[in-house]
Structure 1
Amino acid sequence: MRKLSLALVATASAATLSLTALQAQEAPPVPGQMDVSEVAAGTYKADPAHTIIGFRLNHFGFNDYFGVFGASEGTLMLDPTNPSSAKVDVTIPITSVAVAADELKDHLLRAGKDGAEPDFFGPNPTAARFTSTNVEVTGPTTAMITGNLTMNGMTHPVLIAAEFTGVGTNPMNKAETIGFEGRAQINRSDYGLDFALPFVSDQVILDISAAFEKQ
């Protein structure tokens, strides 16, 4: 019986190894690569379906609340031989905001009561816009991007810690694509969004994931 058990274990192990090898052979190549030398100079357009800005802020001192803005559009002008000359110009439609609670989304886009100013963005908010003013290269795949964020009719400087995350050909539409991620922090009160302060934190963390397609 022991010999039979050992034989079964050996057979199963061999089958597992064979299956793993077969899967490795059949696995499609990953289109995105981290080789910065593959990036071509030129103008890139943001892929709105895959460029998102997440936000998080503390709620009543208990835990962080999350949300996301999607459908962002814009351009990136990039020369890999001179990355500090890069220019970014992106717009973020506020109406695309997605949060876990329908009541909160309604509140974010709701008109003020009895003709008063809205607590947040209101029903017809203008899209937010970020335009870069300076790019400081900090490593082979990292940079600090300084720019102006206009939101809710107010403009303030913002610093984004950015990282290059991939380059390659999109297997679906064959577009030459590059990806970046970034993080920034803003104070929502700077943009007139001071409802529920200080119970809901003033500081908002922005997590950015962006894909740009070569034009």
Structure 2
Amino acid sequence: MQFLPKMPRALKVALPLALAAAAAPMVAQMPEVPGKADKTRVVAGTYTADASHSLVAWTVNHFGFNDYFGLFGDVTGTLSIDPANPAASKVSVKIPVSKVITASPGLTAHLLKPGAEGKPADFFGATPADATFVSTSVVPGADGTSATINGDLTLNGVTKPVAVAATFAGAGTNPFSKAATLGFHGTAMIKRSDFNVKMGLPFVADEVKLNITVAFEKK
């Protein structure tokens, strides 16, 4: 059996330092992400939702065993904001229900299946109207980066008040569009029965959690 020669102690110390020194220029050259959670970067004005990067995910409990997830994409809309007066902010978004997706093709098809023989659809039906959310008030949080956005959610032909707990995620310039961009995360809880989506109750839960992520670009 052959043994490697024992590394001198001085080399054991010097080698990691040399490797760290060699890596330092590479770390220094790493580009920074354009968006930062820095509210001083927020530019006042009217913004348009970046539909390709704006999503609403929904979570509903199934049979009391586990949660199931689905997704609405292509969210469009506008945001008016002035960092000097965040309470005056206004947001309006449109959510294309007809583009709902799930991990199960069969379930996705069922969500968009028309009602049989003139009966109402089990869920949204074949040609559901877009859902909309229009803010009625904005209550800024004490931390300066969160807010409660109160508004009217219209879904499945029914309008109900909904509160969204929103958090500022980042601001900066989009490197591709060169537009000033803002990002927000939000959560909300609704009861689907309030919007006449009652299929499967109570085995499929009434409470639906919404997780929202929206990017807005200044135009």
Could you say whether these structures have the same fold, taking a TM-score greater than 0.5 normalized by the shorter chain as the test? yes
Q: Could you tell me how far apart the structure 1 residues matched to 2:95 and 2:27 are?
A: 40
Q: Could you tell me how far apart the structure 1 residues matched to 2:162 and 2:41 are?
A: 29
- Provide TM-score, normalisation by structure 1: 0.95
In the TM superposition, residue 76 of structure 1 has moved relative to its aligned partner by 0.3
Percent identity over paired residues: 47
Q: Could you tell me how far apart the structure 1 residues matched to 2:12 and 2:158 are?
A: 70
| Counterparts of residues 30-49 of structure 1 (less than 5 Å) | 30-49=33-52
AA at the equivalent of 1:99: T
| Counterparts of residues 3-82 of structure 1 (less than 5 Å) | 3=7, 7=11, 10-11=14-15, 13-14=16-17, 16-82=19-85
Q: 2:197 aligns with which of 190, 193, 197?
A: 193
* Cα distance, 1:19–1:100 mapped onto 2, change above 3 Å: farther
Q: Deviations over 1:59-110 (max 9, x none)?
A: 1101100111000100001111100000000000001211100001000000
Residue in 2 aligned with 1:96? Answer: 99
AA at the equivalent of 2:42: V
In the TM superposition, residue 5 of structure 1 has moved relative to its aligned partner by 8.5
Residue in 2 aligned with 1:156? Answer: 160
Q: Could you tell me how far apart the structure 2 residues matched to 1:107 and 1:6 are?
A: 70
Query: What is the count of residue pairs matched by the alignment?
Result: 214
1:202 aligns to 2:191 (yes or no): no
In structure 2, list runs of 5 or more residues that go unmatched.
none
AA at the equivalent of 1:102: P
1:173 aligns to 2:180 (yes or no): no
In the TM superposition, residue 19 of structure 1 has moved relative to its aligned partner by 4.8
In the TM superposition, residue 8 of structure 1 has moved relative to its aligned partner by 6.3
Secondary structure of the 1:81 match is coil
Q: Could you tell me how far apart the structure 1 residues matched to 2:26 and 2:165 are?
A: 37
Q: CA RMSD in A?
A: 1.5
Q: Could you tell me how far apart the structure 1 residues matched to 2:126 and 2:21 are?
A: 59
- Provide TM-score, normalisation by structure 2: 0.93
Residue in 1 aligned with 2:115? Answer: 112
